[in-house]
Structure 1
Amino acid sequence: MHARIRIAATVAAALGVLVLTACDTGSTVVDKPKGSAAARADDDENTTKEKSEAPGIAEVGDTLTLKGSEDGSRLDVTVTKIADPAESADEFTEPGAGKRFVGVQFKLVNTGEAAYSDSPSNGAQVADSEGQQFDATFGDITAGPSMASSLKLKPGAQGLGWIVFEVPEAAKVATVQFTMDSGFADETGEWKLS
């Protein structure tokens, strides 16, 4: 009798694991900026209209607030500039045949209560107009200094730097994404590039 109970408990536990695995993890994509870059550029013109409209999809210059996995972990993330194509800063690092470098400059501001310590490039990706995603690659570009590979920010501190991606020559890069905790946090920021 005890053997049957143990077998039933084991089967129930296994089914519970399968159910938990199949559940939605709660991951969300954040693409509504704190303030629109277009609205800031046209600040003098149509100010009342811009303020009354809901913000659109984030673009270059817009800031998204993202939460990390730990309590009190939060960043304001801004895509400040794009370099497409980006030129290698040295003669030793070149994109592969039929590919090009694309650089995205990020500004990260720790607006949380906890220290931020991560490798930002691990949580960054670009996607082309077909939906193909590309992870960051190692390389320095002439557009400016790279983002630190191991960035540590106390609350209120900020980091700025370029993250480089290698994409097919013909690809039209459409979006860039950033996720805290090396890509494992529940919130992913997304900016429209084209």
Structure 2
Amino acid sequence: MRIRTAALTAAILCLPLTACGGSKDDDSISTKPKAESSSQAAPTGEAAEPADAAETVPPSEKPKAARIGDTITLSGQDDGEKLDVTMEKWLDPAKSADEFTTPAAGKRWVAVQIQLTNTGTTTYSDSPSNCVQAADTDGQRFDSTFGDITAGPQMTSDLKLPAGDKALGWVVIEVPKASKVATLQFTMNSGFADQTGQWKIG
């Protein structure tokens, strides 16, 4: 009886982590922009010709890192949550739309216009500004802040985006005047999802 119990205990301990939801890659960061559809298929009526791998992707050529204007596809915490996230425009500095909300002393506002496209199978609910973080060349990191700017409307703070729909808006970030922003990150589920998209600035 003791032998059977020991064997059963060993079997349980040897079960793969997938049983406990450990199949996801933790803290994965993607800098790969979504490929344009035109580059994925051969022209109509033409057969795709085999190409040497060395000719298609030169060994010395590094993969392209996402920049402003590029789209990164990300998955959320729940099944069916998937977004195409596009950093449409970058504004530095960003000007307040009124005299009541302004940057703190020694700080400035920067802003990014983001488009979210729900490519998943379920409604995505979130506060997108909580998903954004900026980093400067010194490694300092900054979260979003509230602020109306002259460039256009803010991204909604209470997004409920059905599958197939899009949302567009500006997210404002307060940084020190001397900081040079180097990258932007977007992580679904208010920053708690496993996947993070990263875009280079400049």
Q: What TM-score does the superposition give when structure 2 sets the normalisation length? A: 0.75
Q: Deviations over 1:75-131 (max 9, x none)?
A: 000000011000001110110111000000000000000110000011111110111
User: How far off is 1:35 after superposition?
Assistant: 3.0
Aligned partner of 1:27 in structure 2 is 27
Q: Pick from 88, 93, 98 the counterpart of residue 101 of structure 2.
A: 93
- Give secondary structure in 2 for the equivalent of 1:142: coil
Q: Pick from 103, 106, 109 the counterpart of residue 117 of structure 2.
A: 109
CA distance in 2 between counterparts of 1:150 and 1:30 reads: 25
- Give secondary structure in 1 for the equivalent of 2:171: strand
Q: Pick from 152, 165, 172 the counterpart of residue 160 of structure 2.
A: 152
CA distance in 2 between counterparts of 1:157 and 1:25 reads: 27
User: How far off is 1:25 after superposition?
Assistant: 6.7
CA distance in 1 between counterparts of 2:148 and 2:134 reads: 17
Q: Pick from 110, 124, 131 the counterpart of residue 132 of structure 2.
A: 124
Q: What is the alpha-carbon root mean square deviation over aligned residues? A: 1.9
CA distance in 1 between counterparts of 2:26 and 2:145 reads: 28
User: How far off is 1:27 after superposition?
Assistant: 1.3
Q: Deviations over 1:121-147 (max 9, x none)?
A: 111111101111000000011111100
Q: Deviations over 1:147-168 (max 9, x none)?
A: 0001111000000000000000
CA distance in 2 between counterparts of 1:108 and 1:176 reads: 15
- 1:164-175 to 2 correspondence within 5 Å? 164-175=172-183
Aligned partner of 1:76 in structure 2 is 84
- Give secondary structure in 1 for the equivalent of 2:73: strand
CA distance in 2 between counterparts of 1:129 and 1:81 reads: 20
- 1:33-72 to 2 correspondence within 5 Å? 33-35=33-35, 52-53=56-57, 55-72=63-80
Identify unmatched segments of 5+ residues in structure 1: 1-23, 40-51
CA distance in 1 between counterparts of 2:83 and 2:91 reads: 23
More helix by share: 1
Q: 2:30 corresponds to which letter in structure 1?
A: V
CA distance in 2 between counterparts of 1:55 and 1:120 reads: 28
Identify unmatched segments of 5+ residues in structure 2: 1-23, 40-55
Which structure 1 residue ranges, 4+ long, deviate > 2 Å from structure 2? 52-55
